[in-house]
């Protein structure tokens, strides 16, 4: 079974990646000590995969909390509701929390795990492409606030990650495409060879060929594991993983969480970052076109909403958690395969990029 390890000393953990591995959950979690588990899932995923997980964990007393499906439910109100359920059920520290779902479920479950009785163990079982290649790995947990995405949260690492690419068979095409935005991001910021491989494998990826998908997921997880091992709390290189997110989070907040999927907003944000890099760095127009072509191949947006103004972007970006010393930090590609973090973007550049001039 392909295995990626996130090396964080005593908090290191493994990412298991294999088609059908959900049914092997008991053996994959055998190094953890727990007799009870609470699964956090949503009303879409639980009917599809909860019974399979229960069948795998027959020796475990398992209960489930289901939440509504959608980014608009990644809120403090939902967090409080989950906490109330755990407290009412007298859940103790020897209980394992399991996130079974996409990024919303994983982020919420992680934040609950980080804060319930000051921390209990949790495991990620991501069921969307976006969560499999990005949000389930690295320990970022959070809820959204109307003034900003992921502004309330904690760094809290899972005890393990189990990735079964077979769960992607039930993923709506729009959600699969949104996940590809994060996959493409890794090639832009870190691995030009991987970016080229993605260009060469568009058709097999769109067909969800199991071997091709597993290769893509494993490479993304390895890149993220390498980065997180160097910079767990985003003091340096980890910020590169936010390519497209500064602009993308502004789009999500302005349009209303859930109306633009996270990956769709990131895709548009990536192009805005590329165009900013054309002005500020040596990123070329042809490289931007190459990035746009790959995003377009997966039917992802390559421009922000028509009804968003410069002021709309700036209002939301000024509240972004990446703001430092009152300066917005931007992740900009220097070439396909490399990127930098900078706060020195000229006002004229932002005006030109965000007003499409």
Q: Report the catalytic residues.
A: 118, 140, 182, 224, 234, 238, 242, 245, 249, 262
Let me know: does 121 contact 159? Beta carbons within 8 Å: yes
Non-local CB neighbours of 154 within 8 Å, separated by 6+ positions: 110, 111, 114, 115, 141, 142
Cα 212 to its chain centre, rounded Å, is 20
What one-character-per-residue DSSP string does 212-225 give? HHHHHHHHHHHHHH
DSSP class of residue 134 equals: I
Spatial distance between the Cα atoms of 101 and 107, rounded to a whole number of angstroms = 10
- Strand segments, DSSP code E, in the chain are 3-6, 13-17, 36-42, 61-67, 95-101, 122-126, 140-145, 148-155, 160-163, 330-335, 338-342
- Give me the count of residues in the chain: 357
Residue 248, token pair as written in the block = 């993308």
Let me know: does 337 contact 197? Beta carbons within 8 Å: no
Spatial distance between the Cα atoms of 233 and 229, rounded to a whole number of angstroms = 10
**Residues 348, 265, 81: CA angle, nearest 5 degrees:** 125
Let me know: does 76 contact 147? Beta carbons within 8 Å: no
Number of Cα atoms under 13 Å in the Cβ half of residue 329: 19
């Amino acid at each position: 079974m392909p295995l990626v390890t996130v090396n964080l000393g005593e908090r290191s953990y493994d990412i298991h990646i294999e088609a059908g591995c959900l049914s092997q959950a008991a053996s994959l979690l055998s190094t953890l000590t727990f007799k009870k588990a609470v699964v956090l899932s949503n009303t879409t995923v639980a009917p599809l995969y909860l019974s399979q997980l229960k069948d795998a964990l027959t020796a475990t007393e398992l209960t489930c909390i289901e939440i509504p499906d959608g980014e608009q439910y990644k809120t403090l109100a939902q967090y409080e509701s989950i906490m109330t359920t755990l407290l009412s059920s007298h859940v103790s520290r020897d209980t394992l929390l399991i996130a079974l779902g996409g990024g919303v479920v994983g982020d919420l479950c992680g934040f609950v795990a980080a804060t319930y009785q000051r921390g209990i163990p949790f495991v990620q079982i991501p069921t969307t492409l976006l969560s499999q290649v990005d949000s389930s790995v690295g320990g970022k947990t959070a809820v959204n606030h109307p003034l900003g995405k992921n502004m309330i949260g904690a760094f809290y690492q899972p005890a393990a990650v189990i990735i079964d690419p077979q769960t992607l068979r039930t993923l709506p095409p729009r959600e699969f495409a949104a996940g590809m935005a994060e996959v493409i991001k890794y090639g832009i910021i870190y691995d030009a060879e991987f970016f080229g491989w993605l260009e060469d494998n568009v058709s097999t990826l769109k067909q969800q060929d199991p071997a091709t998908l597993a290769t893509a997921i494993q490479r993304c997880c390895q890149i993220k594991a390498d980065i997180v091992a160097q910079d767990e709390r985003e003091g340096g290189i980890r910020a590169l993983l936010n390519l497209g997110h500064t602009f993308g989070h502004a789009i999500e907040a302005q349009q209303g969480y859930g109306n633009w999927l996270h990956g769709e907003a990131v895709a548009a944000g990536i192009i805005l970052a590329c165009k900013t890099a054309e002005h500020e760095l040596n990123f070329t127009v042809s490289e931007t076109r190459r990035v746009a072509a790959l995003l377009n191949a997966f039917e992802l947006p390559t421009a922000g909403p028509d009804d968003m103004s410069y002021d709309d972007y700036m209002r939301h970006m000024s509240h972004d958690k990446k703001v430092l010393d009152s300066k917005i930090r931007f992740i900009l590609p220097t070439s396909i395969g490399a990127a930098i973090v900078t706060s020195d973007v000229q006002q004229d550049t932002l005006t030109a990029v965000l007003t499409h001039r």
